[in-house]
């Protein structure tokens, strides 16, 4: 018996390991397609990094294109972006591109590389995102559980009201309301995150604004999934065995109800740590989130690619993490 | 160049803010008598709309970078608040033939690292600006220098750049003399020497971080936290008029509404509020006294497409005049521009030599209708319904209401339906270069205060920024004469003639002169505001005084 069990466990570990490796390998073609699609779309859009209201002389545009390799054929430009070989004016040199760890130059921040720009802002963005994630889970989960337990009663209506409000209010509306009420009228909190490194209160409004939507999302998933398990046989059995309500809720209901909730936590976390354009824009957070939109309007190709790939990698990795986590939460799930 | 694009989101925010009618919670406090008032820290706090894209003076082109560079660099000559050229790091002399400018550097100026500023640094900087390997977007301002066009247009892969650099007409015979040789007399050229692009530079300079950044101006760069803020402190080796400020803090606040909130919360001292907020600010007893209005050297205009040889506006000058005469610019300013600025009825802005008031066609509905009928005849069309025209504009800013206003004016006057087409900015600019809309909007602001920079660049035959494709040979001849006339008065007379000829052709409708509507805290004093500022007072920040306040 003991020997058999051990082999089964070992077998399980091998399964998980090969599953993870297989999934990681799958990320490569996914990233390839994402990069090809982003690259083609971005070059299909009319206008370029040198479009100005006050037009540049043609010779200048030609020089700039030559300097940044934008005069190469589009396929060569893509290959140069991927690297590690670098094609220029028909000759091939080493090394550049993302495979050599070089995300390329920025056309807007002329003196800085995309590596520097991302490096400067990524920690701030992830820090803000993680805090908002913790807040979302800490508030969203209990809110959903309370709503489900008080199904069709006051707690349910109250929690549903809060989550509908959170889902349907655009971030820029809620952010502005928060600024006006707590920053300008009451004067309790800083209206922006400029002093975030010295004044922790500067984080409060952006975190609240960023977590309103995910709180609502988590709460609604939790509520729906709790309601579903309420009607399951094992819950009825537990009740009939005379087990206390608290134990039933914690051990039998919440644990099972969490499985579908975990599914959405991956994308929610990915969404939060890659940064929000609106939140960073309105609260002046020195992160990378606000570059998402400005890089596109500026046709800052290197930055657009880097941010899209960052988002794609984050989503892919977190989805994988979620899938692996499943097994620990729900022993019925097996990897194959 | 320095046009700020406001994002669409921020507009929605504005409306929301306006609806809330929030009032600043600045406590009135007891105002202490001036004699007892403690000295306040001389710190000026402003906002930047983005992280400065580049603090390399030869390369920077945007208003944010320039705002920083104005304080940490200094040019050969400068201007006062009335835009008269005054001595900067040098005095200057123009030769009788108007083709040689000799700058004599003043004693006692040094960089923030202690090295003296010498004439060779200008020669280096000007050569570097024009060198195609630098790929500066604004190098064309030195086209008038001997060998300038050849150097700028050279291909680094084919041409001998070093030879062209040697042939470029700048020289520094000794440490205090910098000589510029011009290819043709150009009295206005001295204005180019006021620009941030032409400040002294050294080969060992780096421009990417605050650490190691060497400043030539009254202030120096001490902190540059990317995407967060820029901090300037006085340059200890500054040899000019003593600086008053101890610090300038420039915070990066992308959203204008957020900047206004920061202003109301007392975090910044100067801000340009979004257009939608203007009405609220004017009614707010606490904010209204802080309002500072001014004009700058720019215009906003709607031009007619004359690139398409079969286009209605190419074929009929009557039609162009009719559309122009049917627009009541005064009402438009009130309704669509929020009453900010002044109506523009010529091309060269007020405050610039060569400005003429009201030379464009006046608002005259009857004349417009007569011209419109003549225009239809020119085109061989039976009625207004046969005329299919589009008006193009860039979205995400405040242009929608203006285009709607124009649409309504033309509908009322002629019964004609114009189709508005809005596009994202980059796409829009691309479209204008290749195939402009029948009517399209654009803006323009001065590089230097000379009519050449407006009339010739916008409406000269074949000029790169003449998007409408308009060309009047006679006016072109006058402008060519003006460009080689040594005396400014002669030039102005010629430019005025050219402007009158052009106006009669109605190639564009100028709507409003460039203007700013800025909030400045009452304790910010001695803020020298010029029509070349993109943010009020940016040229003279170092000398502002922070008065005692609560």
More confident residue, B5 or A12: A12
Name the residue in chain B with its Cα closest to that of A64.
B135
Check: CB of residue B190 under 8 Å from CB of residue B75: no
Q: Do strands B229-234 and B247-252 pair parallel, antiparallel, or not at all (unpaired)?
A: antiparallel
Q: Which residues pair with B520 in a beta bridge?
A: B270
Q: Does B330 touch chain A (CB under 8 A)?
A: no
A286/B226 CB distance under 8 A:
yes
pLDDT value for A104: 87
Q: Does A45 touch chain B (CB under 8 A)?
A: yes
Name the residue in chain A with its Cα closest to that of B224.
A120
Q: Which residues of B touch A91 (CB under 8 A)?
A: none
Token pair of A101 as six digits: 């760890």
Q: pLDDT tens digits, residue range A167-216?
A: 888 888 998 889 889 888 888 888 888 777 788 888 899 999 999 999 99
Buried b (16+ CB within 10 A) or exposed e, A138-156: ebbbebbbbbbbeeeeebb
Using alpha carbons, select from B495, B445, B443, B438 the residue that is nearest to residue B468.
B438
Q: What is the DSSP letter of B364?
A: -
More confident residue, B463 or B162: B162
Q: What does the pLDDT average to over B342-357? A: 89
pLDDT value for B463: 81
Name the residue in chain B with its Cα closest to that of A58.
B464
What average pLDDT is seen over chain B?
87
Q: Does B132 touch chain A (CB under 8 A)?
A: yes
Q: pLDDT tens digits, residue range B269-292?
A: 999 998 888 889 999 999 999 998
pLDDT value for B58: 94
Q: Could you give the C-alpha distances from B234 to A98, B62, B68, B238, in angstroms and in order?
A: 41, 24, 13, 8
The share of chain A scoring above pLDDT 70, in percent, equals 94
Check: CB of residue B294 under 8 Å from CB of residue B536: yes
Q: Which residues of A touch B444 (CB under 8 A)?
A: 53-54
The share of chain B scoring above pLDDT 90, in percent, equals 55
Q: Does B424 touch chain A (CB under 8 A)?
A: yes
**In which element (H, E) is residue B99 found?**
none
The SS3 assignment for B440 reads: strand
pLDDT value for B32: 36
Q: pLDDT tens digits, residue range A39-82?
A: 999 998 888 888 887 788 888 888 888 888 888 888 888 988 88
User: So what's the ipTM on this one?
Assistant: 0.79
Q: Does A198 touch chain B (CB under 8 A)?
A: no
Terminal C-alpha separation, chain B: 38
The share of chain B scoring above pLDDT 70, in percent, equals 93
Q: Does B20 touch chain A (CB under 8 A)?
A: yes
Q: Does B18 touch chain A (CB under 8 A)?
A: no
Distance between CA atoms of B76 and B89, rounded to whole angstroms? Answer: 5
List the 157-176 stretch of B: residues with Cβ below 8 A of A.
157
- Give the residue from A91, A176, A301 with the most B CB atoms within 10 Å of its CB, the best one to mutate: A176
Distance between CA atoms of B22 and A176, rounded to whole angstroms? Answer: 11
Q: Do strands B247-252 and B77-79 pair parallel, antiparallel, or not at all (unpaired)?
A: unpaired
- Give the residue from A115, A279, A281 with the most B CB atoms within 10 Å of its CB, the best one to mutate: A281
The SS3 assignment for B86 reads: strand
Check: CB of residue A47 under 8 Å from CB of residue B430: yes
Q: What is the DSSP letter of B238?
A: -
pLDDT value for A135: 95
Using alpha carbons, select from B334, B336, B324, B391 the residue that is nearest to residue B360.
B324
Q: Does A172 touch chain B (CB under 8 A)?
A: yes
Q: Does A115 touch chain B (CB under 8 A)?
A: no
List the 47-66 stretch of B: residues with Cβ below 8 A of A.
50-51, 53-56, 59, 61
Pick from A239-243, B22-26, B423-427: least confident? B22-26
Model confidence at A335: pLDDT above 70: no
Q: Does A293 touch chain B (CB under 8 A)?
A: yes
Instruction: For Cα atoms A43, B429, B61, give the angle at the middle one, nearest 5 degrees.
Output: 95
Check: CB of residue B267 under 8 Å from CB of residue A194: yes
Model confidence at A123: pLDDT above 60: yes
Name the residue in chain B with its Cα closest to that of A63.
B135
Q: pLDDT tens digits, residue range B10-29?
A: 333 333 333 333 333 333 33
Q: Does B115 touch chain A (CB under 8 A)?
A: no
pLDDT value for A333: 67
Q: What share of chain A is helix, strand, coil (3-state, %, to 5)?
A: 70, 5, 25
The SS3 assignment for B93 reads: strand
pLDDT value for B353: 84
> What is the number of other CB atoms lying within 10 angstroms of the CB of residue A32?
11
Token pair of A113 as six digits: 């590389």
Q: What is the DSSP letter of B229?
A: E
Distance between CA atoms of A2 and A115, rounded to whole angstroms? Answer: 53
Buried b (16+ CB within 10 A) or exposed e, A211-221: bbbbbbbbbbb
Q: What does the pLDDT average to over B128-155? A: 90
Q: What does the pLDDT average to over B244-252? A: 94
How near does any CA of chain A get to the CA of B100, in Å? 26
Distance between CA atoms of B473 and A252, rounded to whole angstroms? Answer: 88
How near does any CA of chain A get to the CA of B135, in Å? 6
Residue among A47, A56, A116 whose CB faces B426 most closely: A47
Model confidence at B144: pLDDT above 50: yes
- Give the residue from A60, A203, A302 with the most B CB atoms within 10 Å of its CB, the best one to mutate: A60
Q: Does A3 touch chain B (CB under 8 A)?
A: no
**Cβ neighbours of residue A139 closer than 8 Å, sequence gap 6 or more:** A211, A215, A219
Distance between CA atoms of B490 and A206, rounded to whole angstroms? Answer: 60
Distance between CA atoms of B29 and B37, rounded to whole angstroms? Answer: 13
Q: Does A284 touch chain B (CB under 8 A)?
A: yes
More confident residue, B396 or B363: B363
Pick from A125-134, B267-276, B352-361, B369-378: least confident? B352-361
pLDDT value for A190: 86
pLDDT value for B38: 53
Q: Which residues of B touch A67 (CB under 8 A)?
A: 133, 135
pLDDT band for position A12 (cuts 50, 70, 90): low
pLDDT band for position A241 (cuts 50, 70, 90): confident
């Amino acid at each position: 018996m003991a020997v058999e069990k051990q082999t089964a466990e070992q077998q399980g570990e091998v399964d998980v390991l090969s599953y993870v490796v297989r999934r990681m390998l799958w990320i490569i073609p996914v990233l390839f397609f994402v990069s090809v699609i982003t690259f083609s779309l971005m070059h299909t859009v009319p206008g370029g990094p040198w479009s100005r209201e006050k037009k540049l002389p043609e010779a200048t545009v030609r020089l700039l294109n030559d300097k940044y390799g934008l005069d190469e054929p589009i396929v060569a430009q893509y290959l140069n972006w991927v690297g590690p070989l670098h094609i220029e004016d028909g000759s091939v040199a080493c090394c550049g591109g993302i495979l050599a760890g070089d995300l390329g130059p920025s056309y807007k921040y002329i003196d800085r590389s995309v590596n520097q720009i991302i490096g400067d802002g990524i920690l701030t963005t992830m820090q803000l995102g993680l805090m908002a994630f913790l807040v979302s889970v800490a508030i969203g989960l209990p809110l959903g559980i309370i709503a489900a337990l008080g199904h069709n009663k006051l707690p349910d209506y109250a929690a549903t009201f809060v989550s509908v409000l959170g889902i349907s209010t655009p971030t820029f509306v809620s952010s502005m309301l928060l600024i006006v009420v707590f920053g300008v009228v009451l004067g309790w909190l800083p209206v922006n995150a400029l002093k975030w490194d010295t004044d922790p209160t500067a984080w409060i409004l952006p975190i609240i604004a960023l977590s309103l939507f995910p709180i609502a999302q988590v709460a609604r998933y939790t509520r729906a999934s709790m309601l579903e398990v309420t009607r399951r046989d094992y819950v009825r059995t537990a009740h009939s065995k005379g087990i206390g309500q608290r134990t039933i809720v914690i051990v039998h209901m919440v644990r099972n109800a969490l499985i579908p909730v975990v599914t959405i936590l991956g994308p929610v976390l990915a969404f939060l740590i890659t940064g929000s354009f609106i939140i960073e824009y309105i609260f002046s957070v020195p992160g990378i989130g606000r570059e998402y939109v400005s890089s596109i309007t500026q046709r800052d190709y290197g930055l657009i690619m880097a941010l899209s790939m960052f988002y794609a990698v984050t989503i892919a990795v977190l989805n994988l993490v979620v899938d692996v986590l499943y097994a620990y939460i729900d022993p019925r799930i097996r990897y194959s | 160049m320095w046009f700020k694009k406001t994002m669409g989101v921020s507009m929605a925010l504005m409306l929301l803010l306006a609806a809330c009618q929030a009032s600043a919670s600045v406590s009135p406090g007891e105002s202490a008598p001036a004699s007892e008032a403690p000295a306040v820290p001389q710190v000026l706090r402003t906002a930047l709309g983005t992280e400065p894209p580049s603090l390399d003076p030869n390369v920077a082109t945007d208003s944010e970078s320039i705002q920083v560079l104005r304080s940490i660099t200094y040019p050969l000559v400068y201007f006062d608040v009335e835009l008269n050229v005054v001595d900067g790091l040098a005095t200057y002399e123009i030769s009788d033939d108007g083709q040689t400018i000799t700058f004599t550097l003043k004693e006692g100026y040094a960089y923030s690292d202690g090295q003296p500023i010498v004439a060779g640094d200008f020669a280096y900087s000007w050569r570097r600006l024009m060198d195609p390997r630098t790929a500066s977007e604004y190098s064309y301002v030195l086209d008038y220098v001997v060998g300038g066009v050849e150097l700028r247009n050279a291909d680094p892969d084919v041409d001998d750049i070093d030879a062209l650099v040697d042939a470029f007409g700048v020289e520094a015979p000794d440490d205090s003399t910098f000589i510029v040789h011009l290819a043709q007399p150009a009295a206005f050229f001295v204005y180019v020497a006021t620009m941030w692009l032409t400040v002294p530079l050294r080969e060992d300079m780096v421009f990417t971080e605050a650490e190691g950044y060497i400043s030539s101006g009254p202030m120096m760069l001490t902190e540059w936290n990317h995407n967060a803020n820029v901090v300037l402190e006085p340059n200890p080796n500054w040899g000019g008029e003593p600086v008053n400020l101890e610090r300038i803090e420039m915070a990066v606040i992308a959203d204008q509404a957020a900047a206004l909130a920061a202003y109301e919360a007392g975090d910044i001292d100067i801000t340009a509020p979004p257009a939608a907020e203007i009405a609220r600010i004017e009614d707010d007893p606490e904010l209204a006294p802080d309002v500072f209005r001014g004009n700058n050297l720019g215009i906003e205009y709607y031009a007619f497409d004359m690139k398409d040889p079969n286009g209605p506006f190419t074929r009929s000058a009557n039609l162009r005049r009719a559309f122009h005469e049917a627009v009541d610019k005064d009402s438009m300013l009130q309704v669509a521009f929020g009453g900010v600025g002044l109506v523009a009825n010529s091309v060269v802005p007020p405050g610039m030599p060569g400005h003429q008031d009201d030379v464009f066609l006046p608002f005259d509905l009857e004349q417009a209708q007569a011209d419109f009928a003549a225009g239809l005849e020119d085109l061989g069309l039976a009625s207004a319904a046969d005329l299919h025209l589009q008006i193009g504009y860039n979205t995400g800013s405040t242009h929608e209401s203006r285009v709607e206003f124009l649409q309504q004016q033309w509908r009322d006057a002629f019964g004609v339906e114009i189709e508005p087409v809005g596009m994202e900015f980059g796409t829009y600019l691309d479209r204008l270069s290749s195939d402009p809309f029948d009517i399209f909007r654009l803006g323009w602001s001065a590089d230097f205060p000379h009519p050449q920079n407006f009339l010739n660049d916008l409406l000269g035959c074949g000029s790169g920024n003449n998007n409408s494709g308009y060309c009047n040979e006679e006016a072109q001849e006058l402008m060519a004469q003006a460009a080689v006339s040594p005396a400014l008065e002669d030039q102005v007379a010629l430019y005025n003639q050219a402007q009158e000829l052009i106006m009669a052709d109605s190639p564009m409708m100028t709507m409003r002169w460039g203007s700013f509507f800025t909030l400045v805290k009452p304790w910010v004093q001695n803020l020298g505001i010029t029509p070349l500022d993109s943010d009020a007072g940016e040229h003279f920040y170092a000398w502002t005084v922070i008065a005692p306040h609560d």
